Amino acid sequence: MIGWIDFILLFLASFRLTRLLVYDRITAFIRRPFHREAEEVLPDGSKLSYIEIKGTGLQKWIGELLSCYWCTGIWTSAFLYFIFIYMTDQAAPLILILAIAGCAAILESIIEKLTF
């Protein structure tokens, strides 16, 4: 079993890594082989953007995974937990950096909601 501080660090790191893979522009190159962005013009003239999953088989499976925040979250949590348990010294900097970035993302979201 892990301690509370380790749990909180893993929680925040998993949150940040998941958002990084699923939503952030800087990782669009990872999603590009599996997703196609499509646009639809609505009757009022506005545009609606959405994702279409590319391919079949493994390509489609990865595309579905990367389009689902909850699904990707399970895998990022498992990955981070695995490296935390079996490669603690090597994983610690990555987990800490992601956890700090996760805290910053949460604070930014709160501040954004309070100021608008």
SS3 51: strand
Number of domains in the chain: 1
Nearest to 22 by CA among 69, 57, 54: 69
Per-residue pLDDT of the chain (116 residues; tens, 9 = 90+): 899 999 999 999 999 999 999 999 999 999 999 999 999 988 998 999 999 999 999 999 999 999 999 999 999 999 999 999 999 999 999 999 999 999 999 999 999 999 87
Domain assignment present for 16? yes
Domain assignment present for 36? yes
pTM of the model: 0.86
Nearest to 100 by CA among 90, 111, 108, 89: 108
Supply the range of the domain harboring residue 64: 2-107
